[in-house]
Amino acid sequence: MNKDIFTPDSFIDRLLTEAPDSGYIESEIYFNSSESIDMRVFEGNISSYEASASSGLSFRGRIDEQMGYAYTETYDDEALNFLLSKAKENCAVIESDHPETLYPGDNVYAETTNFSQELDDKTFDFFAQTALSIEKSILKYDSRIVAVDYMIIIYSSDFELIRNTLGLDCRETSNHLYIFAESRCVSNGQTKTGYCEWAGRNADAFDINEFARKTAQACLDKLGAAPIPSGIYPVVFAPLAATQLLGAYSGVFSAESVQKGFSLLAGKKGMNVASDKVTLRDDAVTPKSIFAFSFDSEGVACKNKALIENGTLVSYLHNRKTAGIEGVSSSGNGFRAGYKGSINIVPMNFYLSPGPVSTEELFEKASNGLYITELIGLHAGVNEVSGDFSLSCEGFLITDGKKGRPVDQITVSGNYFRLLQSVVELSDDLIFDASSEHGQIGSPSILVEGLMVSGE
C-alpha cells in the first residue's frame, strides 16, 4: 500500500483563496482518497486479486443565497478554473426553499483512533497466507464440509478532509480489515451453507482456527433442519437477525423522512413508541464498534445520543438542513457517500442497548418458541413506510426453554413498530455487524412476543 497520504494542500489553498474573486461569499472543499486490496481464494489458490486507489475533491460555494457544487479528480490550473466556473453555473440554476450555508466548526471534537499503522504495513503475503489458511482450516474441520464457496479478505484505508473559508479544518485517516467466508456441507442428501465475518484492525490478534470453526459450525448446525407448523410464536432474534431488521428500518429515524411524511414516527417525539426495555442509540464512539466518528461531512462534531430511551422517542437523526427546518442543532449525521455524493442523513454506530440477562435466560423466558438466526430477502420483504415485513428465515426451535433442532423453510411476518412495542427482554450479547463500510448496526438478542410464523 502507499504509505504516504496524498493531499493536494496547495491546490486547496489556491481554490479557497481565489473563490471570492469569482463572487463566492463562502466556499468549502471536501477531499477524499481511498485505497483497497480485495483478495479471494478458491480451492487452495488465489482466484482474484485487485488493488485500487482513487481520490477526488468536491467544491461547493455560495453566491447570494444559492450553493453550487462541482468536483474533480485532477488538481491543476484547468481543474481549478473548472470548479469555480461550474459551481457558479449551478448556483444560477439551483433553487431551494432552505438555502445552504457552511459551518465554521465546533470547539470540541471527539478523539478517535481509526488507523492502525501495523495493519497498513501488512504485505500481500500476509493477506494471502491468512486467506489460504482459513480455507484450509475450514475444510479440515469436519468431513461433511465439502467446499468453501467464498473466502474474501478486503483491506480498506481512507483519508477525508474538509476545509472552508469560515475556518473549518477537519481531517481523519482510517483503515480496517474485513474477512468473510462461506462454507458448504452435505449430509444424508441435505446441503447447507453457513458463513462468518470479521472486521477489525488488530490483524495479529485474529484467530484463524476460531474463525474457521465458526464458519464450519454455521452450516453444520443447520443439518437436519425442517419446517415447523404455522402459528404465532414468541421469537428470539439472534444479534445478526436483529441487526438485519434494525438496519432495514434505520431510515424511519431520519429527520428528512419524518419531515417528508415517509416515517410513521412523525409527530411522536416525547411519546412511547417501544417497550420500556428498548433503548436505541446512535453513538459517535462506542467500545464494541470498530468505527468512531469525530466529525460528519458538514464539519459538525459527532455526538453520542439516544433516539429511543426506555421506550420513549427522544430524537431523530439530523443534518444541518433538517435541523434548521426543525429549529434544533444538527446531530452530526450529515454524511456524503464520497466526494461525488450529496449530503444525506446516515447513522453512525446505530444499536439497541443490551439488557441484563444471558441468551439462555431469554430462551427460558420464551419457553416454547423460535430462535431466528438469519433473515433472507430483506430488500423485497420489508416496507419501511408501513413497517410491515414478511421474511424467509432460518433458526432453531426453542423447546422447554432450551435451544432445540434447526428450522428452515419458514417465513416470519409482522410490523416493526408493533415489534418494538412487544419486546419482552434484551440479552447482554451485543454484537455489531461486521459488513458495514460506514459505521455499524448493532444489537443483542431480543425476545419478542407474538409473531406470525408460516411453515408447514
Question: What percent of the chain shows pLDDT beyond 90?
Answer: 91
Q: Residue 43, class by beta-carbon neighbours within 10 Å (0-12 exposed, 13-18 middle, 19+ buried)?
A: exposed
Q: What are the grid coordinates assigned to 432, written together?
A: 455489531
**At 258, which amino acid appears?**
V
Q: For 100-155, what is each residue's pLDDT tens digit?
A: 899 999 999 999 999 999 999 999 999 999 999 999 999 999 999 999 999 999 99
Question: What amino acid occupies position 49?
Answer: Y
**Cα–Cα distance, 98 to 190 (Å, whole number):** 59
Distance of CA 146 to the CA centre of its chain: 32
In the structure grid, which three cell numbers stand for residue 50, read together?
485487485
Angle at 315 between CA 312 and CA 320, to 5 degrees: 175
Per-residue pLDDT tens over the stretch 434-449: 888 788 999 999 999 9
Where exactly does CATH 3.30.2290.10 map onto the chain? 9-220
The pLDDT score that the predictor gives to residue 2 is 46
Q: Is 318 exposed, middle or buried (0-12, 13-18, 19+ CB in 10 A)?
A: buried
What pLDDT digit, counting tens, does each position of 245-292 carry?
999 999 999 999 999 999 999 999 999 999 999 999 999 999 999 999
281 and 306 Cβ atoms separated by less than 8 Å = yes
Mean pLDDT (the chain) is: 95
In this predicted structure, the answer to whether residue 4 has a pLDDT above a threshold of 60 is: no
- pLDDT digits 0-9 by tens, 315-328: 999 999 999 999 99
Mean pLDDT across the stretch 216-239? 97
Using DSSP's 3-state secondary structure scheme, residue 14 falls into: helix
* Dist. CA 96–CA 79, nearest whole Å: 27
pLDDT for 185-226, tens place per residue?
Answer: 999 999 999 999 999 999 999 999 999 999 999 999 999 999
Q: What's the whole-model pTM score?
A: 0.93
Task: Name which of 378, 419, 389, 358 is nearest 234 in CA terms.
Answer: 419
Asked if 74 contacts 62 with a C-beta cutoff of 8 angstroms, the reply is: no
Superfamily of domain 9-220: PmbA/TldD superfamily (3.30.2290.10)
pLDDT over threshold 80, residue 6: no
Asked whether the predicted pLDDT for residue 97 surpasses 90, the reply is no
| 170 in Cβ contact with 295 (< 8 Å) | yes
